[in-house]
Amino acid sequence: MNVRCDGVLEWRRLHSAMVEVELLGSGNAFLPSGRHHSFLIIDKHIIIDCPPTALSSLRRARISPADIDTILITHVHGDHVFGFPFFILERKYISDRDGLKPLTVAGSPIVKERLSELCKLAYPGSLDDILQEIIWVDTPQLQDWDTERFEVVHQPAVEPHGWMLTHSDGWSMLHSGDSGPCEELWTRIGRCSFAVVEMGVPEYVQTKEHHKPSDIEKLATKFPSTHILLTHTYIDSDYQILTTDIPQFPSNVTHGEDGMIFTIDKNGNPTVE
């Protein structure tokens, strides 16, 4: 049994009736204290986005980049994808030197172009071979999951999308990416038992491209059966830069912290560890 089997596959065998969601990072672009950039891993092998702090987040969680087989990209803003060159550099020279671990990257048409450009800017000529080996797709084929990518409200130039994953057991979860309130996103959240939603700005910021605390309160009240995990937050977790005050939310909302782990049972019910 190889290293991957000893780690990830053994975990899957022991937890076959559950799904694990780990919030590897929970901060917005400005890196509030005590937080890495917003970053999520599902069952230790599917990640959503690849932010500048991705490699550090994986190291903290003791997860090898070689164990990641799928990346779901929400959009191509820097705080969501600028860690990609370092991620595949590590795979090439350290954790997957023999190139035995396939990697699928899923996203809108701009994703391949933008991530390839980043790699060529960061390490000219060094990553061309691994870029050719990546499986670039619009939506991936995943064991136990049906996936949907859908448009959300954010800066159009970065082709913003959310991801909805429906498990073979019949329940669904969702990641909003960066988005302000919009009908497509909120309707899908209402169909999910677990939703990871960004809350990128304080109440006083004038924008329609991010959720504010009042938006989250309305969302949670509208869909009391959906457990909402907040990420991409502006709130400091350690010392105060902007604020350490967490707003009061309905009981179905959890304000995320780096390293927080949820296990989701076969009925879609999440429990935080």
Domain boundaries, the chain: 19-264
Q: Quote the mean pLDDT of the chain.
A: 95
pLDDT at 38 over 70: yes
Residues 270, 227 contacting (CB under 8 angstroms):
yes
Tokens standing for residue 122? 């960061």
CATH class, domain 19-264, is alpha beta
Give the model's pLDDT for residue 273. Answer: 85
Residues 62, 268 contacting (CB under 8 angstroms):
no
CA distance 36 to 258: 7
Give the model's pLDDT for residue 4. Answer: 42
In the predicted model, what is the mean pLDDT of residues 49-72?
98
**94-145 tens-digit pLDDT:** 999 999 999 999 999 999 999 999 999 999 999 999 999 999 999 999 999 9
CA distance 103 to 207: 36
pLDDT at 46 over 80: yes
Per-residue confidence band for 5, with pLDDT thresholds at 50, 70 and 90: very low
